[in-house]
Amino acid sequence: MFPIREATFLALDVKLLRIEAPRIARRREAGQFVIVRVHEHGERIPLTIADSDVDQGTITIIVQGIGKTTKLINMLETGDVIQDVVGPLGEASEVSLFGTVVVIGGGVGTAIAYPTAVAMKQAGNRVLSIIGAKTKDLIILKEQMQATSDALFVMTDDGSDGTQGFVTQKLVELLQGGEQIDRVLAIGPIPMMSAVADVTRPHGIKTIVSLNPIMVDGTGMCGGCRVTVGGQSRFACVDGPEFDAHDVDFKILAQRNTLYRAQERAALESLEADPAGDLEEIRHCRLEQKHPEVGPQAK
Amino acid sequence: MAEHLPPKERTKIPRQSMPEQDAHERAHNFDEVNLGLEIVVAEKEAQRCLACNDPKCVQGCPVGVKIREFVDLVMDGEYLKAAAKIREDNVLPAVTGRVCPQENQCEGSCILGKRFSPLAIGHLERFVADYEQATGQVGLPDRAPLTGKKVAIVGSGPAGLSCAGDLVLKGHRVTVFEALHEIGGVLLYGIPEFRLPKEIVRNEVDNLSKMGVDFQTNVVVGKTVTVDELLGEEGYDALFIATGAGLPKFMNLPGEHLGGVYSANEFLTRVNLMKAYDSEHYDSPIYDCRDRNVAVIGGGNTAMDAVRSALRLGAKNAFIIYRRSEEEMPARREEVHHAKDEGVQFMNLHNPVEFLGNDDGYLTAVRLIKMELGPEDESGRRKPIPMEGSEFDLPLDVAIIAIGTGANPLVQSTTPDMQTNKWGYIVADEQTLRTTKRGVFAGGDIVSGSATVILAMGAGRTAARSIHDYLITAEW
């Protein structure tokens, strides 16, 4: 059982949760993720660790409510408990002194890019950040990114914050402006990461993306998260989640991520029609935690 | 209580058969196939035992269960004592009674089998274990006084559980770390409900808890905590690595990325651990098999488990595609027989060469090539050879690859001073199961490569003896 110490919305459908998980907090490095199972009947989903606090023994995840499980997580509040959290999984981001690093975060991808941006800055890099979203209300971690970047550019589809346009536009502008870029980290929706790869490819700029395919165990056991990189099948959970963007087959990745669309839609509809059952299962856990003596009988 | 008959009379009794759920009915549900023996039937079967002075069956058992003695107790109607007798050597009797390949072990060595059918040892083992569970009077052995030593066991599959059981009885403090959210390893994620009900595994795990074993789920040793941390700041005196062979092998064929192509590990994990077959109550999805064509590639127990699961998920056609003939099939005979009864179609002497898909990235067919058997290869089996020009396409919606597993490198990669071989398996001394790192032992599939539940349990026992010696003598 993993208690939630803090739960706050950062934007519409985007929630920050600080979870007590001391072992994970102690070992976690930028770029790694956890697998979360909300309750006894839940699925296992990967979520990148946005931050951790060793003294408090907590990790922070930032979750955008899209499907049933993520929407359900967004319904949780301080004091609720998550059934299972396991990690830190995956390889840490490769961080060293590269020179000028452009960090690009699209939508909730900013939450995943943020810890690596911090690490890049600490390693002495000049960090230029571009964060983008559909609209102003969906821009997250703006102040934090500002604080860790030498320059921050905000892009929105509707121009309600920063400049109107896609993150790739700003990247092209930087390149056209003669900016010497040594490395790019791009994390966001698949079309965005693919577009960034296309921009940097002709310039030969090493570009890293963090992939989020469907996973089950997260330890290399099932192979469900296999992605095609440089023509080879790789497991995102143990070989990744970060890969060289110029080698990733984004089309296959996008196709594999739609495998369970029908079931996902049905699950979401049933949650939205009646979230009580799922919430009760979680809240019952909270009862168990506070009053172990009522445990199983309460069920 | 049954009469002890003279040997001649014993051989006249036919081997008692295990009642099964009707094949047509069970092909559509996940309930257990074998229903278990009635008391009278079990006693009658026990009467068949020749009570050899030098029982070959015991030698055939990887953990040395005192078979003659427990069968004797069954004949006397002392079922609880029989169960306790098994538990002296085997901490998971209800599990092994169901999943051991008895035909190659105890029953394969039974003298009766030379002229008649061998004694149904597996069925009797299951009978006493189930009887014990049903009465709730599990005869747990006594624990020795505490030694003050702490042992960490990495992995809660059969090797880890059997090692934990033996060590805790010797008075050591034992903590088992499991990466997944539930205890049992392959018994849980790998073997389906209809062959090994999860309730059985949970009961056995509960018994170990009662004996004093501490279980911690959601800990990936190598990631959440390292071997050095366990031996250092966490204060463990010894460590047993029993992580199994969990890395699925793919075939590296074109189209393997297509939607609908699974590793057997993923397919079975979704079905068993995540309970995707009960979609009304569980959230984990599985590709809709209803009225679809599903093929499993491979001929082992895992392949049989996967294909029979696909049938139960509603597959219209469920195929086994195996490159050799049925004779070479490594699966337990009973599983092959059950699969056939349920309607699984066997395409032996076939091998896939490519997976074909549509524009949306979904599997539509598999291209197969016919095979013939040539001379024996290094495994002693006749080598399958592709027949040139015999390719054809089999329309398919789901393909499950069950051609074996390799070593998962997570623990090894963060334990650089522990030696592995070229395939990534941990190097351990055959007798003592000591690795090249002081205080660290390893056994089961992570040392031997994929084998069986009972061999892993045997390794767990060996490790327990060896760890105990090390803890007592402090000599490496």
- One domain for residues B452 and B393: no
> Could you tell me if B398 and B287 are in contact, meaning their C-beta atoms sit under 8 angstroms apart?
yes
Model confidence at B457: pLDDT above 50: yes
User: Is B177's Cβ below 8 Å from some Cβ in A?
Assistant: no
User: Is B217's Cβ below 8 Å from some Cβ in A?
Assistant: yes
CA distance A135 to chain B (A): 30
CB atoms closer than 10 angstroms to residue A26: 15
Q: Looking at the DSSP assignment, which residues form a beta bridge with residue A235?
A: A226
CA distance A224 to chain B (A): 6
Strands A226-229 and A232-235, bridge-based pairing: antiparallel
CA distance A215 to chain B (A): 9
Question: Would residue B144 count as lying in a domain?
Answer: no
Residue-level pLDDT at B353: 97
The CA distances from residue A66 to A9, A241, A265, A274, B377, in Å, are: 14, 20, 10, 16, 53
For residues B5 and B443, give the distance between their C-alpha atoms in angstroms, rounded to a whole number.
Answer: 42
For residues B97 and B87, give the distance between their C-alpha atoms in angstroms, rounded to a whole number.
Answer: 12
Residue-level pLDDT at A296: 39
User: Is B402's Cβ below 8 Å from some Cβ in A?
Assistant: no
> Could you tell me if A50 and A60 are in contact, meaning their C-beta atoms sit under 8 angstroms apart?
yes
User: Is B263's Cβ below 8 Å from some Cβ in A?
Assistant: yes
Question: Would residue B241 count as lying in a domain?
Answer: yes
Confidence of residue B194 (pLDDT cuts 50, 70, 90): very high
Model confidence at A287: pLDDT above 90: no
Alpha helices in B88-221 (DSSP H): 93-99, 106-109, 112-115, 121-135, 158-169, 186-189, 198-211
Pick from B218, B247, B277, B290 the residue to mutate for testing the A interface (most A CBs within 10 Å). B218
Question: Of B223, B246, B257, which has the smallest distance from its Cβ to A233's Cβ?
Answer: B257
CA distance A261 to chain B (A): 10
Answer with the one of B383, B403, B423 that is the final residue of a domain.
Answer: B403
For residues B368 and B345, give the distance between their C-alpha atoms in angstroms, rounded to a whole number.
Answer: 15
Contacts of B83 (CB under 8 A, 6+ apart): B70, B93, B128, B129, B131, B132, B138, B139
Pick from B284, B290, B403, B414 the residue to mutate for testing the A interface (most A CBs within 10 Å). B284
Number of alpha carbons in the 13 Å side-chain half-sphere of residue B276: 24
For residues B279 and B271, give the distance between their C-alpha atoms in angstroms, rounded to a whole number.
Answer: 10
In one letter, which amino acid is A27? R
Residue of B nearest to A37 (CA): B181
Residue-level pLDDT at A28: 95
CB atoms closer than 10 angstroms to residue A175: 17
In 3D space, the residue among B82, B66, B84, B81 whose CA is nearest the CA of residue B169 turns out to be B84
What is the CATH code of the structural domain delimited by A2-89+262-298? 2.40.30.10
**Considering only CB atoms, which chain B residues are within 8 Å of A233?**
250, 252, 256-257
For residues A99 and A95, give the distance between their C-alpha atoms in angstroms, rounded to a whole number.
Answer: 11
> Could you tell me if B404 and B296 are in contact, meaning their C-beta atoms sit under 8 angstroms apart?
no
| Domains held by chain B: number | 3
Residue of B nearest to A264 (CA): B285
Residue-level pLDDT at A72: 92
- One domain for residues B360 and B280: yes
- One domain for residues B205 and B261: no
Confidence of residue B2 (pLDDT cuts 50, 70, 90): confident
User: Is B288's Cβ below 8 Å from some Cβ in A?
Assistant: yes
Region of residue B209 (phi > 0: left; psi between -120 and 50: alpha; otherwise: beta):
alpha
Q: Looking at the DSSP assignment, which residues form a beta bridge with residue B153?
A: B176, B240
CA distance B275 to chain A (A): 8
- The answer to whether the CB atoms of B269 and A85 lie below 8 A apart is no
In 3D space, the residue among A45, A194, A182, A209 whose CA is nearest the CA of residue A116 turns out to be A209
* CATH code for position B206: 3.50.50.60
For residues A210 and A228, give the distance between their C-alpha atoms in angstroms, rounded to a whole number.
Answer: 14
**Considering only CB atoms, which chain B residues are within 8 Å of A219?**
179, 220, 223, 246, 408, 410
Question: Would residue B35 count as lying in a domain?
Answer: yes
- One domain for residues B168 and B66: no
- The answer to whether the CB atoms of A223 and B266 lie below 8 A apart is yes
**Considering only CB atoms, which chain A residues are within 8 Å of B266?**
216, 222-224
Residue of B nearest to A72 (CA): B283
Helix (H) or strand (E) holding A187: strand A183-187
Cis omega (within 30 of 0) for bond into B375: no
- The answer to whether the CB atoms of A220 and B252 lie below 8 A apart is no
- The answer to whether the CB atoms of A221 and B285 lie below 8 A apart is no
**Considering only CB atoms, which chain A residues are within 8 Å of B270?**
216
Mean pLDDT of B250-257: 94
Question: Would residue B104 count as lying in a domain?
Answer: yes
Please, is B356 exposed, middle or buried when counting C-beta atoms within 10 Å of its C-beta (0-12, 13-18, 19+)? middle
The label of the residue with tokens 């690859």 reads B401
User: Is B232's Cβ below 8 Å from some Cβ in A?
Assistant: no
**Considering only CB atoms, which chain B residues are within 8 Å of A27?**
223-225
- The answer to whether the CB atoms of B223 and A89 lie below 8 A apart is yes
- The answer to whether the CB atoms of A258 and B259 lie below 8 A apart is yes
- One domain for residues B121 and B59: yes
Model confidence at A235: pLDDT above 90: yes
% of chain B with per-residue pLDDT over 90: 80
DSSP-based three-state secondary structure for B215: strand
pLDDT in tens, A201-231: 999 999 999 999 999 999 999 999 999 999 9
Number of A to B CB contacts under 8 A, please give it. 114
For residues A32 and A34, give the distance between their C-alpha atoms in angstroms, rounded to a whole number.
Answer: 7
Q: Is domain A100-256 annotated with CATH 2.40.50.70?
A: no
- One domain for residues B170 and B185: yes
Mean pLDDT of B43-67: 93
CB atoms closer than 10 angstroms to residue A91: 15
- One domain for residues B359 and B428: no
CA distance B242 to chain A (A): 15
For residues B273 and B155, give the distance between their C-alpha atoms in angstroms, rounded to a whole number.
Answer: 16
Residue-level pLDDT at A291: 44
CA A35-A36-A39 angle, to 5 degrees, is 150
Model confidence at B427: pLDDT above 50: yes
Region of residue B410 (phi > 0: left; psi between -120 and 50: alpha; otherwise: beta):
alpha
CA distance B308 to chain A (A): 19
pLDDT in tens, B114-162: 999 999 999 999 999 999 999 988 877 788 999 999 999 999 999 999 9
Residue of B nearest to A67 (CA): B283
Q: Where are the domains of chain A?
A: 2-89+262-298, 100-256
Confidence of residue A294 (pLDDT cuts 50, 70, 90): very low
For residues B316 and A214, give the distance between their C-alpha atoms in angstroms, rounded to a whole number.
Answer: 27
Mean pLDDT of B335-360: 95
Helix (H) or strand (E) holding B176: strand B173-177
Question: Would residue B433 count as lying in a domain?
Answer: yes
- One domain for residues B310 and B342: yes
Residue-level pLDDT at A299: 33
> Could you tell me if B281 and B264 are in contact, meaning their C-beta atoms sit under 8 angstroms apart?
no
**Considering only CB atoms, which chain A residues are within 8 Å of B220?**
86-87, 89, 219
- One domain for residues B242 and B273: no
Supply the DSSP string of B247-274, one letter for each residue.
EE-----TTTTSBTEEEHHHHHIIIIIS
User: Is B358's Cβ below 8 Å from some Cβ in A?
Assistant: no
> Could you tell me if A106 and A189 are in contact, meaning their C-beta atoms sit under 8 angstroms apart?
yes
Model confidence at A116: pLDDT above 90: yes
- One domain for residues B122 and B78: yes
The label of the residue with tokens 């990669």 reads B413
The label of the residue with tokens 């059981």 reads B165
CB atoms closer than 10 angstroms to residue A273: 7
> Could you tell me if A17 and A60 are in contact, meaning their C-beta atoms sit under 8 angstroms apart?
yes
For residues A276 and B432, give the distance between their C-alpha atoms in angstroms, rounded to a whole number.
Answer: 54
Mean pLDDT of B459-475: 94
- The answer to whether the CB atoms of A41 and B408 lie below 8 A apart is no
For residues B295 and B307, give the distance between their C-alpha atoms in angstroms, rounded to a whole number.
Answer: 7
User: Is B285's Cβ below 8 Å from some Cβ in A?
Assistant: yes
User: Is B328's Cβ below 8 Å from some Cβ in A?
Assistant: no
Model confidence at B444: pLDDT above 70: yes
Enclosing domain of residue B35: 7-135
- One domain for residues B345 and B394: yes
CA distance B50 to chain A (A): 45
Residue-level pLDDT at A285: 52
Residue of B nearest to A43 (CA): B284
pTM: 0.91
- The answer to whether the CB atoms of B282 and A260 lie below 8 A apart is no
Answer with the one of B84, B104, B135 that is the final residue of a domain.
Answer: B135
Model confidence at A289: pLDDT above 70: no
Residue-level pLDDT at A293: 42
Region of residue B36 (phi > 0: left; psi between -120 and 50: alpha; otherwise: beta):
left
Question: Would residue B143 count as lying in a domain?
Answer: no
Model confidence at A292: pLDDT above 50: no
- The answer to whether the CB atoms of A217 and B179 lie below 8 A apart is yes
Answer with the one of B375, B403, B431 that is the final residue of a domain.
Answer: B403
- The answer to whether the CB atoms of A233 and B281 lie below 8 A apart is no
Please, is A94 exposed, middle or buried when counting C-beta atoms within 10 Å of its C-beta (0-12, 13-18, 19+)? middle
Question: Would residue B92 count as lying in a domain?
Answer: yes
Helix, strand, coil fractions of chain A, as percent rounded to 5: 35, 30, 35
On average, the pLDDT of chain A sits at 91
For residues B347 and B369, give the distance between their C-alpha atoms in angstroms, rounded to a whole number.
Answer: 11
Question: Would residue B163 count as lying in a domain?
Answer: yes
% of chain B with per-residue pLDDT over 70: 100
- The answer to whether the CB atoms of A24 and B220 lie below 8 A apart is no
> Could you tell me if B258 and B396 are in contact, meaning their C-beta atoms sit under 8 angstroms apart?
no
- One domain for residues B259 and B272: yes
DSSP-based three-state secondary structure for A278: helix
